[in-house]
């Protein structure tokens, strides 16, 4: 394989991973935000003193994980150094 072809393939993969990481992080942030603030509550807790509505924490945690993983993928793809063997 020609050295320029390998370098071009690596830079193309780097750009693709950055884009995928950004999309994954954005989707995770939107899911977490909607679960916390916009969508209807999933649980209502009724006690003698008060009535509380709780968000869907499964979606909140899933969205937050997607956000962190997507940010990590984009960051690592963007800052990865070329290692020569």
14-27: average pLDDT: 94
12 domain-assigned = no
CB 27 within 8 A of CB 66: yes
Q: Check residues 1 and 76 and name the one with the higher pLDDT.
A: 76
What three-state secondary structure class fits 40? Answer: coil
Q: Is the pLDDT of residue 8 over 90?
A: no
Whole-angstrom distance, CA of residue 81 vs CA of residue 69: 20
1 domain-assigned = no
Q: Is the pLDDT of residue 54 over 80?
A: yes
72 domain-assigned = yes
13 domain-assigned = no
Q: How many domains are contained in the chain?
A: 1
- pLDDT at residue 65, rounded to an integer: 97
Q: How confident is the model at residue 83 (pLDDT cuts 50, 70, 90)?
A: low
3 domain-assigned = no
35 domain-assigned = yes
2 domain-assigned = no
- What is the domain range of residue 28? 22-79
26 domain-assigned = yes
């Amino acid at each position: 394989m020609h050295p320029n072809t390998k370098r071009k393939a690596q830079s193309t993969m780097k750009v693709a991973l950055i884009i995928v990481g950004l999309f994954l992080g954005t989707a995770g942030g939107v899911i977490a935000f909607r679960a916390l603030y916009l969508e209807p509550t999933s649980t209502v807790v009724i006690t003698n003193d008060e009535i509380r509505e709780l968000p869907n924490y499964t979606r909140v945690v899933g969205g937050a994980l997607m956000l962190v993983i997507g940010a990590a993928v984009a960051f690592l793809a963007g800052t990865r150094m070329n290692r020569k063997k």
